[in-house]
A and B are shown apart, each in its own frame.
Chain A
Amino acid sequence: EPEVTQTPSHQVTQMGQEVILRCVPISNHLYFYWYRQILGQKVEFLVSFYNNEISEKSEIFDDQFSVERPDGSNFTLKIRSTKLEDSAMYFCASRIGLIFGPGTRLTVL
């Protein structure tokens, strides 16, 4: 069964550093998403991506965040200068029915 994969499973970084979280969506899907889950809180929508551009983004997705699909298969989320409050599980998803990857746990020290 096709699945969404994410790397790394856990990323530890220092505050102010840049991180790139990687996702490989299901190959024939066209819509891609990033969601995040701060420990013990709701899963929150960050951004959706279609046809190589952002189709919608939330208030959380400020200028520190960016997404791209550099090579037609990977889908990345970049956080330019991480803050403590960016520590969360980040889930990549692709349609249809919103299939999620296993998540990347980001810890900002």
Chain B
Amino acid sequence: AQRVTQPEKLLSVFKGAPVELKCNYSYSGSPELFWYVQYSRQRLQLLLRHISRESIKGFTADLNKGETSFHLKKPFAQEEDSAMYYCALSLPGNTGKLIFGQGTTLQVKP
């Protein structure tokens, strides 16, 4: 079965430090990968998607099909990056349903 794994429940870093939130998936085909973020008291929202190859709020993520990973990175963390981050996978086909990982809480300390 398709699965998304985020091995860290909590990642705590100091402001200005690099950040890497890990995401691994199990699927042999060509999925679409996403990172969704939920800031405190806000709804879940898209941060970035693999297909766009864009950088949002300084975050980037590269799809590594060999390692089946889609890690989220930022060179210099800011306090406002503190949030819950979910990696999600969407399979080819017409549904578009998302399979989410368990989430990682990022805590950026001053």
Bound pair: A and B?
no
